[in-house]
Structure 1
Amino acid sequence: MIMEQRLTDEERLTLKTGVFGAVFLVSNADPGLLGVLKESVAASGALADASGVVKEALTTGPLPRLPRDSQLEIESVVLPALCRAVRILREKSPADVAAYRSVVLSAADRVARAHAGVVPAEAAVIERIRDALVDPV
């Protein structure tokens, strides 16, 4: 039986960067002031569904610092954070890998659907997020 290991502050921040960054990426894919409130509520609903190590990572410590200059710059931080988060969980808490993926993808999907449905740009971002969450064994 694999024992769950406690995450470091840096590891928790990596998980948080991945989740919050994924939400930010999808929101930025189809920007608009009217959708921001709906998207925020939608994302918070998905994040509230987290449990265990994932919930601890999302609810403790500082908020991640994400770039704001361009979608490409944001992706260059967020997508690697998602990959690292999966590796961290696979090593320290394997039972939580699926839960992390689920929270990230649920939050991204809920944000995309929150305002006027999923547009092609949002679908493309979600696909890149999904690819980053693949567990290279």
Structure 2
Amino acid sequence: MSVALTDQDKLTLRTAAYGAVTLMAAAGAAGRPHKAATEGSVALYSATGLVGHVLAEKSRGVNLNGRSVAGLADHVLPALTAAMSLLKQRDPAEADNFRGTIMVAIEAAARTHQGEPGPTVADMARKITAALDAT
């Protein structure tokens, strides 16, 4: 099935995906945020299917600026929920693909910390997962 997404739909998916990685990097700011961002981004670039094609496009218009992690989360967490809702309506298999892609990205970002992720990173991963599952 070929799903047509508007430019706004694609922007929502990219904001959600890249925003999730940005939130993970911000949560691990005391550790290695650049490595978290790199590992999470590599996971996003490895996506396949419609999601992979959307994430591979240039990310014009994605606004991940925020004065705080809270400000960024206020923008990204609803985008994650909206992306899942959009994909569930149009192509449930791509919704599963998107969720899986985000989960791999946040796991990759969390693994950049020595040993187990710290409580701040683990909490951010839970918030991202909750936003994905809120639909």
TM-score by length of 1: 0.88
Residue identity in the other structure for 2:64: L
CA RMSD of aligned residues (A): 1.7
Residue identity in the other structure for 1:58: L
The number of equivalent residue pairs is: 133
Is 1:128 the counterpart of 2:120? The answer is no
Per-residue CA distance 1:51-106 (angstroms, 9 max, x = gap): 11101211124341112211111110000000000011011222111110111111
Task: Extract unaligned runs of 5+ from structure 2.
Answer: none
In 2 relative to 1, CA 135–36 (structure 1 residues): closer, same or farther, beyond 3 Å?
closer
Which residue of structure 2 lines up, in the alignment, with residue 39 of structure 1?
A: 36
1:54 maps to which of 47, 51, 61: 51
C-alpha distance in structure 1 between counterparts of 2:37 and 2:15, whole Å: 16
Which residue of structure 1 lines up, in the alignment, with residue 79 of structure 2?
A: 81
C-alpha distance in structure 1 between counterparts of 2:73 and 2:9, whole Å: 19
- Alignment check: 8 A CA contact 2:18 2:41 kept: no
1:111 maps to which of 103, 109, 112: 109
C-alpha distance in structure 1 between counterparts of 2:72 and 2:37, whole Å: 18
Residue identity in the other structure for 1:38: K
Which residue of structure 2 lines up, in the alignment, with residue 7 of structure 1?
A: 5
- Alignment check: 8 A CA contact 1:67 1:74 kept: yes
Residue identity in the other structure for 2:41: S
- Alignment check: 8 A CA contact 2:24 2:124 kept: yes
In 2 relative to 1, CA 123–85 (structure 1 residues): closer, same or farther, beyond 3 Å?
same
C-alpha distance in structure 1 between counterparts of 2:131 and 2:36, whole Å: 22
- Alignment check: 8 A CA contact 1:13 1:61 kept: no
Q: Percent identity among equivalent residues?
A: 32
Task: Extract unaligned runs of 5+ from structure 1.
Answer: none
